Structure 1
Amino acid sequence: MVICNSYQQLFAIGLFLIMLTSCTNNLKDVQNIGISDNEPIGVAENINLKYTDSGKVKAILKSPKMYDYSNMKFAYNEFTDGVNLELFEDGKKSVVISDYAIIYNKTNIIDLQGNVKITTHSNDTLFAEQLYYDQEKNWLFTNKPVTFRTGQDIINGNGFDSNSKFTNAEVLEITGLITVDE
């Protein structure tokens, strides 16, 4: 009986030691319990985000839905139902609209897709199917077909390159130019 009892004790101690050494304190694993590797960590609906600086509204972002994939190795936020962004500078408003958008957190690149339209406060308008925005460099670019209306000119081309204020906007590989007399 004593031999059997010591085997049971030895087994219980061994099991306890195995359980103790297999436990690790990994907060990331605990946070991801129940989340598939391909699932967003969060979903936001009916977004109406206002960004202010020094008490002044600088931007308003509206979107029906945003998926937060910050749990991925290459983190991103996805706006599957489009975005409407109003930008304010010196009391003047510019508007950015697209059917879909994705923001890559590590590279600070925003990828706008589907019926992209940017209208500046001076009424210059860019139409594109896809447009990238580099947030660090404040730079817009694409190699896809675009239509750019500036002043009386409507310029079609295959690509676009510009700073965010459109002060040096350039349509690449121009395929057509129309000047509208007013």
Structure 2
Amino acid sequence: MGRQIKRIAGIAMVSTVAMFFLGCADNYQRVGEEKPARVYPQGVAEHFTLTYTETKEELQSQGSSDSRIVAILKSDRSEDYENLEFPYRTFPNGLLVEHFDEQGQKSTIRADYAIIYTRTNIVDLQGNVVLETHDGKRLETTQLYWDRSNEWIFTQQRFTFSNPEEGTVLNGQGMDFNRDFSYFIAHKTGGEMLLKEEES
């Protein structure tokens, strides 16, 4: 008799909780100002290429000045939201960035998806992000931020960084570094280092 009462009480409790959750469903249909506005790009470009250049000296009203290519951005598709209060541009089909140093040496960054925030000059790279420097260093992660104004790159995600010059592979989570990896801070790390034995 006691078991049967407990069983009935348990069924009653489950039924009450189920009715509570079903009764709390949001069936309200939003209209007018409270309905979130859909955002559409003001422009879409297919087979997008954008070249950034800089001049070595200030341009004069007459004549020309030497300039160099700093970066080239390439994507199958670019969507322009520059007309919004916080302007940005997306690359839903991926992005390739080719970056050139002052000696003309090329480093590349590839990502499955990217957003460039125009006002802050920050590039948010997502998906299979792979950065390769001209001297063979390689960083792989799922998200990477590139601060173009300060030439600073950082991630809070898990990463693998390999350096063939030193024979090292570093794994970790969270990393900040400058564009050529001459200075970097890794947060949580572990890795492998190959050591060459000296001949006796």
TM-score normalised to structure 2 length = 0.68
Structure 1 residue 92 corresponds to structure 2 residue 92: no
Match of 1:178 in 2: 192
Shift of 1:50: 2.9
Give the structure 1 partner of residue 139 of structure 2: 126
Q: Which runs of 4+ in 1 moved over 4 A?
A: none
Q: How many residues align?
A: 146
Measured after TM superposition, the shift of residue 60 of structure 1 is 2.0
- CA 58–135 in structure 1, closer or farther in 2 if over 3 Å, else same: closer
Aligned counterpart, 1:102: 115
What percentage of residue pairs aligned between the two structures are identical?
40
Amino acid at match of 1:178: E
What pairs up with 1:16-165 in 2 under 5 angstroms?
38-53=39-54, 54-89=66-101, 90-150=103-163, 151=165, 152-165=167-180
Deviations 1:106-141 (A, max 9, x none): 222110001111111111111110011112221111
Structure 1: gaps spanning 5 or more residues:
1-35
Residues 80-111 of structure 1 show CA distances to partners (whole Å, capped at 9, x for unaligned) of: 01111111221311111111100111222110
User: CA separation in 2, counterparts of 1:86 and 1:181?
Assistant: 33
Structure 2: gaps spanning 5 or more residues: 1-36, 55-65
RMSD: 1.7
Range moving further from structure 2, 49-58 or 83-92: 49-58
Distance of 1:79 and 1:125 partners within structure 2 = 22
TM-score (norm 1): 0.74
